[in-house]
Amino acid sequence: MLIRIPQLISRDQIAEARALLEAADWVDGAATAGHQAQLAKRNLQLPDDSPEARQLGDFILACLGQSQTFMAAALPNRIFPPMFNCYQGGGEYGFHVDNSIRRVPGTSVKVRTDLSMTVFFSDPDEYEGGELEVLDTYGEQKVKFAAGDAVLYPSTSMHRVTPVTQGRRLASFFWIQSLIRSDDQRRTLYDLDLSIQAITAQNPDNPELVRLSGVYHKLLQQWSET
């Protein structure tokens, strides 16, 4: 399940965030990659402990908490602190699959990576290339969204960032451990949630809403991992 979350961050907020990112000190992204990923990864990254990464990461987490689409689709249990990367001058990240478990730096906390997320800070017309290509059972998807938009997809998907041949691609990336481990079960709950919302908008007094809501919460209870 690949889901676009439009305008997770407003245009004014993007401008403020871009100012911080443009002034930040970036490092070689390969320093944070695993052995195999180092061979495919050519980009820049903000250090985890940089003040810009922490400030913007906290801001993104606050935006996620206010996003009904994110909460319904991800059903988050734990969220890895957002990280930030920059692609330019031919930078790319070849096809790879994200690590299944990630430890939060400086802590003993581990996050199972059920879902991967990218938040875009550059508009598509600011750079050439730089598409996020995701391969999964739903086929191949090429993602290049507007600044402020985000994309959510299963971490088990093979994916890459194509070379950025002109301009600069700024983004945040991170992972979510969901209350629901199975992607198929998350999709079922998300589709059911959307149906409940649609019926509510059309007829909030529909008596079937109680029944459908009961089914939703029964499935959530049966499938969730806390």
CATH number of the domain that residue 212 is part of: 4.10.860
Distances (CA, A) of 12 to 9, 147, 169, 222: 8, 11, 18, 42
Is there a single domain that holds both residue 36 and residue 97? Answer: yes
pLDDT cut 90: percent of the chain above it? 90
> Which CATH number do you get for residue 85?
2.60.120.620
Is there a single domain that holds both residue 76 and residue 104? Answer: yes
pLDDT score of 183: 94
Is there a single domain that holds both residue 157 and residue 79? Answer: yes
Is there a single domain that holds both residue 172 and residue 192? Answer: no
pTM: 0.93
Report the 10 Å Cβ neighbour count for 210.
9
pLDDT cut 70: percent of the chain above it? 96
Q: Among the listed ranges 5-9, 80-84, 125-129, 139-143, which one has the minimum average pLDDT value?
A: 139-143
Q: Is the pLDDT of residue 35 over 60?
A: no
Is there a single domain that holds both residue 53 and residue 105? Answer: yes
Residue for token digits 């000190």? 25
Is there a single domain that holds both residue 136 and residue 63? Answer: yes
Beta-bridge partners for 165: none
Per-residue pLDDT of 54-78, as tens digits, reads 999 999 999 999 999 999 999 999 9
Is there a single domain that holds both residue 94 and residue 18? Answer: yes
For residue 48, what are the domain limits?
3-178
Per-residue pLDDT of 94-125, as tens digits, reads 999 999 999 999 999 999 999 999 999 999 99
Is there a single domain that holds both residue 44 and residue 156? Answer: yes
Is there a single domain that holds both residue 189 and residue 128? Answer: no
pLDDT score of 41: 87
pLDDT bin (cut points 50, 70, 90) of residue 196 is very high
**Three-class secondary structure assignment of the chain:** CCEEECCCCCHHHHHHHHHHHHHCCCEEHHHHCCHHHHCCEECEECCCCCHHHHHHHHHHHHHHHCCHHHHHHHCEEEECCCEEEEEECCCEEEEECCCCEEECCCCCCEEECCEEEEEECCCHHHEEECCEEEEECCEEEEECCCCCCEEEEECCCEEEECCEEEEEEEEEEEEEEECCCCHHHHHHHHHHHHHHHHHHHHCCCCCHHHHHHHHHHHHHHHHCCC
Is there a single domain that holds both residue 24 and residue 59? Answer: yes
